[in-house]
Amino acid sequence: MGIIETRGLTKTYVRDFIDVEHGRLRFHLWKRKVSALRNLNLSVEPGEIFGLLGPNGAGKTTTLKILMGIHFPTSGEATIMGRPLGDREVKSRIGFLPENPYFYDYLTGAEFLNFYGQLYGMPRGERNRKIPELLELVGLSQAGKLPLRGYSKGMNQRIGLAQALLNDPEIVFLDEPQSGLDPLGRKDIRDIILRLREQKKTVFFSSHILSDAEMICDRVAILVKGELRNIGALGQLLSAGIKDYEIVVQGVSGEVFSALRPKMKSYLESSDGIMLMAPDEELAREAVRITLDNHGRLVSFNPRRETLEEYFISQVRSGDNIPQQAVQGAGK
Amino acid sequence: MSVAADSQNMHDSGYQMSQRRRAPVFSVIPSISLNTFREAVRNRILYIILIFALLLMASSGIVRDLTIAAHDRVVRDLGLAAINFFGLAVAILVGINLVYNELDKKSIYTIVSKPVSRWQFLLGKYFGLLLTIYVNILIMGVFFLGVINYQDRVNEDKLAEVLWHQNASGQYEQVQHPTLTYTKYVATSIVASAGQGIANLFGAMTTPRTQYINGVIFATMLELAIITAFAILYSSFSTPILSAIFTIMTFIAGRLNQDIWAYAMELEKKGLRGTMAGNIKYYLSLGASHVVPNLGQYRESANQLNQAGYHGVQWVEMISRPGGISLPAGILPYTIFYTAAILGLSVLIFRSRNFK
C-alpha cells in the first residue's frame, strides 16, 4: 500500500450560488455539472518523487485540492499515510504549496512563517530556529523583513515553498511549483526537490512542463481531461526512441544534398543556412558527412524526442481510445 | 476498507502515527484571531472609520453650542450614537471581507492543509474581528469620555475663574499673561481629561454620567458580538456586497424586533386574527420576532439606564452581575447563546463547502 492512495476518485463540479456537499447531503440552488476528475486510481510509494502531468484543465489541481481537503470528492476515496483525508495528525506531517499561491500580504516573510509555525503548534524556540534556516534555503534571507506585498512572483513561490517545508514534512505536495519562474528559479526549486529526495521524503507534484518533470521524477502519471492516461517512468511513457534529427548547416550550397533531399522529412534552405530533418540516424550521419566533405560548417545537430506536449496532443486526439490496461493497472 | 484493515496496512507500510508532535487544538484559534486583528490593524479602512468617529465626537462641543437646551444630553447622545454606528461600520466593512478574501485570494488553501479544522479557522476569524471591534470601541470610548471631561474642565465659568481673580477691593482683574495662562490651562486639561477618560472606562473617578456611558458602551459591545457573528455567517457563503446588505438588514430587523412582536400582540388584542390574512400576518410577525435577534433589548437597556437617572453601574459590577441594576436580566447569557448558535450555523455551512 502506498503512502498516498486514491481509489476511484471522481469530482464533478456543480457551479452554483451555494455549493454544499457533505456525505450524502447535497444542496444546490441551480446546477451546471462539469466533470473534472474521473475514477482516478493512484498509488505513490514512500520516498518517491511523483509527477502528476497533464495539459491545462486535466484535473491535476483538482486532485491536489481533494487530497488537501480543500474540495470534497464526489465519489471515491483517498488515503494519505493510511489515514482518511482531513486527518489532523496527517496534516501536521505534510506540506502543501498551491498553484500561484497568495499569502497574507500585510505580513512580512518572517511574520508569515511564524504565523504558520503557530498553526503547526511549533514552540517558539523551534520557530525562531527554523524560520531563518528556511529563508536561507529558499534564498530569501534578505527579504524576511519585507512585507509580502512587495514580493515578486518568484519570491512568492519561494516563500510558499518555505511554508510547505516548515514542519519538516514527510510528504510534500506541490502544485505547479515551477510555474512563472525564470530558469534560475526553476533550477533552485528543482535542487530543493532533489534535496528532499535525499532526505527520503515523498514529493507529489503537478506540472504541465516536461522539462520540469523529466529531470527529477521517479514516476509520473499523465492526466488528460480528468482521466488517467498512463502511469510509470517518464522514459517508458514517451516513445523511448528518437523521433527525428534536426541538422542545421552553413557554407554549402543546396546542390550537394540533391541526392539526399527526397529522403528527408523536411528540407529548408534560407540565407542563414540549410535545415534538414532526417528520419533516422543513418541519413543524419550521411547529411553531416556530405557537409563536412564539402567544407561546410555544422551549426547544430539535434536528435528530437517526442515531447510531452506532443504526447498530450496525441492523447487528446486519440479521444476515447485510451489504453485501458494502463488505467486498470495504474493502482498497482 | 475497514478501520482494522487500515491500521493493519499502516503498520505494514511502516508509517504508523508517531507521537512526534500533537496537532494543536485550541492554541490555533488565538493565533488566527491575532493574525486577523493584525490584518484589520494594517488595513486603511479601519483608520478612516476611526478618524471619522473621533472627529464627530470632537465636534460635539460645536453641536452643544448650537442647541438651546439639554446640552449634556446632546453631547452624550451624539457620542454614544457615534460609538454604536462606527462600531457597526467596522463589523460590516471589515467583517464581510474577512472570510471572503481568504476564499477569493485562496489563502485558505494553505490554512486548510495545516492541522487546522475549518471550525477553528472560522472561530479564529470571529474572535479576531471581535477583538478589532472592541479595541476600536475602547479607543472611541476613552476619547469620548475625554471629550466630556474636557468640556467640564474648559468652559466659560471655569475659564473665568482661571483668568480673572477678585482683588482686595472686590473688583475683578485679569491675571498677568492671560494667553500663557490660558494655553497652560487648556494643555493640562487635555492631558488630565485623557487620563480621566481612561480611568472612567475602567470604573474609576466616575460620575453618574460617565457610568451611564460605560453602561451603553457595554450594551453596544454585546450587540456587536451578535452582529459580528452574522457578518461571519453571511460572508461564509456569499459575496461581500450581499453580506453587507444581509448584515445591515439583520441589524435593522433586530432593532425592530420588539416592535414586530408588539405588532403581533396588537393583532391578537384587537381580534384581527379571524381572517386568513390576519392569521398569516400574526404568525409571520410572531415567527420573525422569535428568529431575528432581539437587539431592541440593548437599546432598551440604554433607555432604562437613562431613566434610572444616572444610576449607572461600574464595569466590574456589571460583568459580575449582568442585569443587576440596570441591564435587563439575562442579556449576557442571551448574547452568548445567540452568538454561539449563529457561529454554529456558520460552521455547519463552512465545513462542507468546496472552496473555489
* Best residue in B110, B233, B243 for a mutation probing chain A (most A CBs within 10 Å): B110
- Asked if pLDDT for residue B134 goes beyond 90, the answer is yes
Residue from A51, A108, A56 nearest A222 by CA: A51
- Asked if pLDDT for residue A329 goes beyond 50, the answer is no
Q: B56-65 in b/e burial notation, b at 16+ Cβ within 10 A?
A: bbeebbeebe
Cell of residue A229, nine digits? 492516461
In chain B, how many H helices and how many E strands? Answer: 15, 2
Q: Cβ–Cβ of A46/B13 closer than 8 Å?
A: yes
What is the per-residue pLDDT for B156?
A: 80
Cell of residue A291, nine digits? 557537409
DSSP for B116-139 reads: --HHHHHHHHHHHHHHHHHHHHHH
Together in a domain, A294 and A249: yes
Residue scoring higher pLDDT (A322 or A116): A116
Please state, rounded to an integer, the average pLDDT across all residues of chain A.
83
For the segment A204-224, the average pLDDT, to the nearest whole number, is 83
What is the per-residue pLDDT for B328?
A: 58
B interface residues, A as partner, C-beta within 8 Å? 6-7, 9-10, 12-15, 17, 20-24, 27-28, 31-32, 35, 38-39, 42-43, 105-117, 237-238, 349, 351-355
* % residues pLDDT > 70 (chain A): 85
A168 touches chain B (CB under 8 A): no
| AA identity, residue B254 | G
In a domain, A265, yes or no: yes
Contacts of B14 in chain A (CB under 8 A): 46
Alpha helices in chain A (DSSP H): 60-67, 88-91, 109-119, 124-137, 153-164, 183-198, 210-214, 234-237, 281-293, 308-317, 324-328
Give strand pairing partners of A128: none
**With contact defined as beta carbons under 8 Å apart, do A170 and A94 qualify?**
yes
**With contact defined as beta carbons under 8 Å apart, do B13 and A170 qualify?**
no
DSSP for A9-26 reads: EEEEEE-SS-EEEETTEE
**With contact defined as beta carbons under 8 Å apart, do B266 and B114 qualify?**
no
Rounded CA-CA distance A256/B56 in Å is 92
DSSP state of B215: H
For residue A257, the domain's CATH number is 3.30.70
What would the pLDDT profile of A235-274 be if each residue is shown by its tens digit? 777 655 577 888 889 888 888 888 888 888 888 888 878 8
Q: Write down which residue in A206, A237, A268 finishes a domain.
A: A237
What is the per-residue pLDDT for A326?
A: 40
Together in a domain, A174 and A89: yes
What is the per-residue pLDDT for B4?
A: 44
What would the pLDDT profile of B242-301 be if each residue is shown by its tens digit? 999 999 999 999 988 888 888 888 888 888 787 888 889 899 988 888 888 988 888 776
Rounded CA-CA distance B257/B262 in Å is 9
Contacts of B42 in chain A (CB under 8 A): 106
Rounded CA-CA distance B147/B162 in Å is 20
Rounded CA-CA distance B323/A202 in Å is 59
- Asked if pLDDT for residue B188 goes beyond 60, the answer is yes
For the segment A131-144, the average pLDDT, to the nearest whole number, is 91
Contacts of B9 in chain A (CB under 8 A): 1, 82
Rounded CA-CA distance B201/B211 in Å is 8
Cell of residue A121, nine digits? 503548534
A132 touches chain B (CB under 8 A): no
What is the per-residue pLDDT for A45?
A: 92
Block residue for cell numbers 475625554: B146
Which strands form A227-232's sheet, in the order they lie side by side? Answer: A94-97, A171-175, A202-207, A49-53, A219-224, A227-232
Together in a domain, A181 and A293: no
In a domain, A64, yes or no: yes
Together in a domain, A18 and A88: yes
Number of domains forming the structure of chain A: 2
DSSP state of B353: B
A69 touches chain B (CB under 8 A): yes
Q: Write down which residue in A208, A237, A266 finishes a domain.
A: A237
In a domain, A321, yes or no: no
Q: Cβ–Cβ of B7/A82 closer than 8 Å?
A: yes
Together in a domain, A78 and A22: yes
For the segment A279-293, the average pLDDT, to the nearest whole number, is 89
Domain segments of chain B: what residues?
25-351
- Asked if pLDDT for residue A55 goes beyond 70, the answer is yes
ipTM at complex level? 0.79
Together in a domain, A20 and A89: yes
In a domain, A186, yes or no: yes
Angle between helix axes B118-153 and B178-201 (nearest 10 degrees) is 140
How many Å lie between the alpha carbon of B93 and the closest alpha carbon of chain A? 18
What is the per-residue pLDDT for A108?
A: 93
Other beta carbons within 10 angstroms of residue B17's beta carbon come to 15
- Asked if pLDDT for residue A187 goes beyond 60, the answer is yes
Structural domain containing residue A203: 4-93+170-237
Q: B194-228 in b/e burial notation, b at 16+ Cβ within 10 A?
A: bebbbbbbebeebbebbbbbbbbbbbbbbbbbbbb
In a domain, A114, yes or no: no
Facing residue for A121 by CB, picked from B27, B38, B107:
B27
For residue A82, the domain's CATH number is 3.40.50.300
Together in a domain, A227 and A251: no
DSSP state of A108: B
- Asked if pLDDT for residue A128 goes beyond 80, the answer is yes
* Best residue in B2, B120, B354 for a mutation probing chain A (most A CBs within 10 Å): B354
Q: How far apart are the first and last CA of chain A?
A: 9
B105 Cβ partners below 8 Å, 6+ apart? A102
Cell of residue B302, nine digits? 440604554
* % residues pLDDT > 70 (chain B): 85
Cell of residue A41, nine digits? 486510481
What would the pLDDT profile of A87-114 be if each residue is shown by its tens digit? 888 999 999 999 888 888 899 999 999 9
CA B267 to chain CA centroid, nearest Å: 34
- Asked if pLDDT for residue B9 goes beyond 60, the answer is no
- Asked if pLDDT for residue B313 goes beyond 50, the answer is no
Predicted TM-score (pTM) of the model is: 0.80
Together in a domain, A89 and A188: yes
Q: Cβ–Cβ of B24/A18 closer than 8 Å?
A: no
What is the per-residue pLDDT for B323?
A: 38
Chain B nearest-CA residue for A115: B31
A24 touches chain B (CB under 8 A): no
* B90-to-A247, B134, B224, B243, B258 alpha-carbon distances in Å: 68, 10, 10, 14, 25
Contacts of B107 in chain A (CB under 8 A): 102-104
Rounded CA-CA distance A121/A2 in Å is 27
Together in a domain, A175 and A291: no
Facing residue for A91 by CB, picked from B32, B105, B113:
B113
